[in-house]
Amino acid sequence: MRLPFVLCTLALAALSAAMSGCDSHAANTNTNASGAAQPAATNAVANAAPQAQTRAEVFAHVKQMSSLGEKLFFDPSLSGSGKLACASCHSPSHAFGPPNALSVQLGGNDMHQPGFRAVPSLEYLQSVPAFTRHFHDSDDEGDESVDAGPTGGLTWDGRVDHGSDQARIPLLSSFEMGSTPAKVAASVKASPYADDFRKAFGANVFDSDDKTFAAVLQSLEAFEQTPAKFYPYTSKFDAFLAGRAKLNDAEMHGLQLFNDENKGNCASCHISQRAKDGSPPQFSDFGLIAIGVPRNRALPINRNPKFHDLGACGPERTDLKGQDEYCGTFRTPSLRNVATRKTFFHNGIYHKLDDVVRFYVERDTNPEKFYPVSKKGVVDKFDDLPKQYWSNINTEPPFDRKKGDKPALDEAEIKDVVAFLNTLTDGYDPAKDKDSQKGIGIGQMKSASN
Ligand code: HEC
Ligand code: HEC
């Protein structure tokens, strides 16, 4: 079901040869006869004219593009202000997520324009499928006839399918890099890597701004598919799955609570098991789901009581506007490297992992802890979603409790879940951890291994 990396890069290379292909597939939601999602890049391969490139040439070209993409990613001269690079918001030392605890980052020409969404990590996006309204996946459900609902696509609302289409958004957004294709093209032409651009894309790459801009977008996409940087699978949990490290008591208990349907039930959306093909868990099913995250009143845009970020049904995403069943839904993020973040959820409302976990288990039992309470003591539950969309809000465990019920996890259990989440941070080396063989190994634990 997931597109193997090799195919992705081949698609990229084929596309780069047929430069125009970059736009032609942008809006595709591909379904096959059974309605199952097709990774959009498969189509790209099929759509691109047959190329006479050998495999070696294809890989060499992808390498050229990704090395250019890396330079672009760190280059603030592409922005309107000259001060903001992709890396300013997507910090390489924070799993390509935000470098600070701000709910949203500042951008625009004066560097003071706030966005209204938290910066997501760019890691582990390689397995996000193209957006589809009806996702059928035997891997997740054990039965392909089960419709898992809207799934996939990049950004919090799944509105684009390819890194190249995505990169256009921050480059041109007035509250992010605030640039134009002409400004980007001029910067690249004047950059120290202009010659590398000619080598990778042909001597005529600077003939038109559109051509240069398309090459920039493709290079950024190629960079975002560099495995060692964007999906290294070097966390303690990966070492545990491979039998090279053991989890301590708190981590192991946390994993069990994370998986247990009667406790956290986190793994029902943040999948913690290997896929059927043996590939490592991604900690997301990529579903677009409404969980009723509280309104973040610290965001300037929320001073307007009429403004609501409704996720898939707008305002950033426009193709599902007015389709009520998508309102309030956001794509489930992977939890890999989540402990490197200091800001959580689409509106960045929380800044500590234990607050996030507490929200899950007490949203319904103690809503007064998360939502505003009136003088008369009435809780304004789900205060960031107009009432007509409340039926979209998820009520599966741990969200199946009532006010006054016992929360699915107590404080000690919340701590253990957080300890487990900390094992998902990349860069773990069992050889450097004297405790790596203390605790419980994969052999002693059945449910996480298969
Ligand atoms: C001002 C901060 C900022 C800058 C600069 C920025 N981004 Fe982002 N990025 C964001 C935010 C916020 C989102 C989420 C947007 C949304 O959901 O609408 C995002 C989302 C993304 C995503 C989708 C991630 C996902 O989980 O689906 C990718 C890919 C991405 N950015 C790449 C880039 C690239 C490439 C650049 C440079 C050309 C860049 N970003 C510059 C803030 C930024
Ligand atoms: C019903 C599906 C579902 C379940 C169950 C679920 N999550 Fe989530 N999770 C989501 C979605 C959707 C989001 C994004 C919500 C948003 O921002 O509006 C999310 C976001 C998060 C985030 C924030 C990540 C970030 O980058 O901002 C964390 C941490 C998290 N979940 C942990 C957990 C834990 C721990 C549990 C179990 C106690 C859990 N989740 C259960 C769907 C789910």
Distance CA 196, CA 19 (A): 17
Distance CA 104, CA 98 (A): 9
DSSP state of 331: E
Q: Mapping DSSP to helix (H, G, I), strand (E, B) and coil, where does residue 413 land?
A: helix
CATH architecture of residue range(s) 233-450 = Orthogonal Bundle (1.10)
Burial class (CB in 10 A: 0-12, 13-18, 19+), 443: exposed
Q: How do the domains of the chain map onto residue ranges?
A: 5-230, 233-450
Residue 63's contacts (CB-CB under 8 Å, 6 or more residues apart) are: none
Distance CA 215, CA 201 (A): 7
Q: What residue spans of 50-206 are helical by DSSP H?
A: 55-73, 86-89, 138-141, 163-172, 181-189, 194-201
Residue 70's alpha-carbon distances to 118, 172, 179, 204, in angstroms, are 22, 19, 19, 22
* Burial annotation 353-368 (CB, 10 A radius, 16+ → b, else e): beebbbbbbbbbbbbe
Q: How many other CB atoms sit within 10 Å of the CB of residue 320? A: 23
Stated as kind and residue range, the H or E segment containing 418 is helix 411-421
Distance CA 346, CA 352 (A): 14
Q: Which of 291, 370, 385 to mutate to test the pocket of ligand 2 (most atoms within 8 A of CB)?
A: 291
**Taking CB atoms and a 6 Å cutoff, what residues make up the pocket around ligand 1?**
84, 86, 88-90, 105, 107, 115, 117, 119-120, 122, 125, 154-157, 163, 166-167, 170-171, 176-177, 220, 224, 316
> Of the CATH numbers 3.40.1010.20, 1.10.10.60, 1.10.760.10, 3.30.1360.10, which one belongs to the domain with range 5-230?
1.10.760.10
Common-topology check for domains 5-230 and 233-450? yes
Q: Which pLDDT tens digits describe the chain residue by residue (450 residues)?
A: 333 333 344 344 444 433 333 333 333 333 333 333 333 333 333 333 345 789 999 999 999 999 999 999 999 999 999 999 999 999 999 999 999 999 999 999 899 999 999 999 999 999 999 999 988 875 555 567 788 899 999 999 999 999 999 999 999 999 999 999 999 999 999 999 999 999 999 999 999 999 999 999 999 999 999 999 999 999 999 999 999 999 999 999 999 999 999 999 999 999 999 988 899 999 999 999 999 999 999 999 999 999 999 999 999 999 999 999 999 999 999 999 999 999 999 999 999 999 999 999 999 999 999 999 999 999 999 999 999 999 999 999 999 999 999 999 999 999 999 999 999 999 999 999 999 999 999 988 755 443
Q: Are 121 and 96 a contacting pair, CB within 8 Å?
A: yes
What radius of gyration, in Å, describes the C-alpha atoms of the chain? 22
Q: Which of 140, 330, 335 to mutate to test the pocket of ligand 2 (most atoms within 8 A of CB)?
A: 335
Ligand 1 centroid–CA 176 distance in Å is: 9
